[in-house]
Amino acid sequence: MDTTEATDPFLLAGRSFRSRLIVGSGKYRSFEETRRATEAAGAEIVTVAVRRVNITDPGRENLLDQLPPDRFTILPNTAGCHTAEEAIRTCRLAREAGGWTLIKLEVIGDERTLFPDVPATIDAARVLVREGFQVLPYVTDDPVACKRLEELGCPAVMPLAAPIGSGLGIRNPWNLRIIIEQSRVPVVVDAGVGTASHAAEALELGCDAVLMNTAIAGAKDPILMAEAMRLAVEAGRKAYLAGRIPTRLYATASSPIEGMIR
C-alpha cells in the first residue's frame, strides 16, 4: 500500500477510503470492461445511475455482478432527473432497492450544458438530509451554493470543473480555491475532467477527490487511461501535501550565492 494512502485517508461521510478517485460506471462497452477499468483506477467508490443501469432486477445482467457491494462502495446517483421531486423519488428507490443512503444528487437544469439546477438541488438536498440520506450534491462551482449545501448537512460538495463529458478541465480554479478554503467538508471535483493532468490539477489545488466517467470510458484505451488517472490523483495529492514553491515573475538561482568564489 502507498504510504501516503495509509497515513492520509480520504474521509467521506464517516467512512475512510484509500483512493481519492471516484469513478462512474456508464458508457463502457460492457459491464466486464467497467470492472476492469474500475480496478485499474484503484477506485473504491463507483457511482451508478439508478434510472439507467440495472442494479435491481436479478433476472437481467446486473452491474453488481461485476462490482459487488462487498468490495466496492456503490454510490447511486440521480442522473436524468430534472426536478427536485424526480431526484427525491429516485433516491428513495435506491434505498428501497439496496438500502443505499449515501447518494449523489443530480438535478439537471439545462439539457445542452447539463449544468445543475442549483435551487432545485438545494430543495432536494434539504428533504433528503431530513430523511436520513447522506447527500453528495453535484453543483456549479459557486461558493455560495456550496456553502448553503454544507449548511444543510451535506457531508461533501461536488462542484463541476466544466460541463459533464466536455473534457475541458478546470475552467475556474479561483472559484474552486474559494470553495476549498471555506469548506469544512470534502470538496470533490465532479465533471469536466478530460485527461490525467486535469485530475492532478484538481488535487494540487487542494480538492479532496475527483469524480470522473467519460474521461476514462471514452478514451481509446479505457483501462490504460484508468491507470493514468490513478497515478495522476496520487501525484496531485502528494504535490499538494508537499507544498509547491510560490510562482515568481523572475528567476531565482538554484544554488545559493553566499560563499561563491569570486
C-alpha cell at 103: 447518494
Q: How confident is the model at residue 62 (pLDDT cuts 50, 70, 90)?
A: confident
Is there a catalytic annotation at residue 147? no
Out of 104, 147, 220, 238, pick the active-site residue: 104
Give Cβ neighbours of residue 22 (< 8 Å, ≥ 6 apart). 43, 45, 46, 47, 75, 188, 209, 210, 211, 212
> What percent of the chain clears pLDDT 70, i.e. is strictly above it?
92
Q: What is the mean pLDDT of residues 141-156?
A: 98
Dihedral of CA atoms 211, 214, 218, 224 in degrees, nearest 10, equals: 0
CA distances, 4 to each of 208, 214, 230, 234, 238 (Å):
14, 27, 14, 9, 8
| pLDDT score for 77 | 96
Question: How many other CB atoms sit within 10 Å of the CB of residue 1?
Answer: 6
Strand ranges (E), 83-236: 102-105, 134-139, 158-159, 188-190, 209-212
Give Cβ neighbours of residue 171 (< 8 Å, ≥ 6 apart). 141, 161, 162, 192
Q: How confident is the model at residue 58 (pLDDT cuts 50, 70, 90)?
A: low
| pLDDT score for 4 | 62
Per-residue pLDDT of 211-225, as tens digits, reads: 999 999 999 999 999
Question: How many other CB atoms sit within 10 Å of the CB of residue 99?
Answer: 8
- Strand, coil or helix: 45: strand
Dihedral of CA atoms 94, 100, 104, 109 in degrees, nearest 10, equals: 20
User: How many CA atoms within 13 Å lie on the side-chain side of 13?
Assistant: 20
What does pLDDT average to over the chain?
93
pTM for the whole structure: 0.91
